[in-house]
Amino acid sequence: MAAARLTLPSPAKLNLMLHILGRREDGYHELQTLFQFLDYGDDITFAVRDDGVIRLHTEFAGVPHDSNLIVRAAKMLQQQSGCALGIDIWIDKVLPMGGGIGGGSSNAATTLLGLNHLWQLGWDEDRLAALGLSLGADVPVFVRGHAAFAEGVGEKLTPVDPEEPWYLVLVPQVSVSTAEIFSDPLLTRNTPPIKVRPVPEGNSRNDCLPVVARRYPEVRNALDLLGKFTEAKLTGTGSCVFGGFPSKAEADKVSALLTETLSGFVAKGSNVSMLHRKLQSLL
């Protein structure tokens, strides 16, 4: 068992829309959002060890080892399952921090699913998703691995199958604090809930966009530039900005024009996470 080794993808997500319905008594916000995955993300390598030690070998600037969501996810699963095994972890990091594309949450979910497989725990998706929710509101959608309409704080998930276009994602060189955006007094907090599934056309806005664009000129600039070619949207609380295209060739064409001055990447939208496709192939 101690020789078991596995590399798994940790995909990005987009919020195709994000409506904020109100603030709850516990300080969290009630929201409605539409999650879709990208066939683009980090790669995480796991190697089982038999001494119970959990070690992330990749360093993250400004993030202490034991505070990293990957380590927290591994330790929580180890404790709650009573597993005596440990794990060595390395990550090939391409997803930006504070980008709104779910890097940390995705890493936590890949860790939970990867260790469930390697440690042979036999936990089902519901149990892993419940554990993931205690790590972050976006972790359950990555654990479940299917595009979803989300409600509550993002944990009540209804699987959906939106179109899967090619996206150009621009990555302004700023890290946006989710807490800062959600505490902004000018944030819209009274959007009426959508009752229709799937989300009807014309309801694809992000209520965080005006606040983020006002606070971060780099994001505003990316929205303006991409908006000349397609509808430019903000994912999550930012900073990443995205637009859909009917083909890879069209996305690549606009990317070539814009990524001279801005970082970015082209990726296919996917309603089934590439992590889950990889795990299925292992069965």
C-alpha closest to that of 11 among 241, 199, 247, 279: 279
Q: What is the pTM of this model?
A: 0.94
Three-state secondary-structure class, residue 73: helix
Angle at 189 between CA 184 and CA 191, to 5 degrees: 145
User: With 60 as the cut, is the pLDDT of residue 189 above it?
Assistant: yes
Q: Which two tokens stand for residue 172?
A: 């302004």
User: With 70 as the cut, is the pLDDT of residue 167 above it?
Assistant: yes
**What's the pLDDT tens digit per position in 203-253?**
789 999 999 999 999 999 999 999 999 999 999 998 999 999 999 999 999
**What's the pLDDT tens digit per position in 81-115?**
999 999 999 999 999 988 999 999 999 999 999 99
Q: State the pairing for strand pair 156-159/148-151.
A: antiparallel
Output the 3-class SS for 157-221: EEECCCCCCEEEEECCCCCCCHHHHHCCCCCCCCCCCCCCCCCCCCCCCECCHHHHHHHCHHHHH
- The annotation places the binding site at 96-106
- The annotation places the binding site for ATP at 96-106
* Residues designated catalytic: 13, 138
Q: Which two tokens stand for residue 47?
A: 């190697």
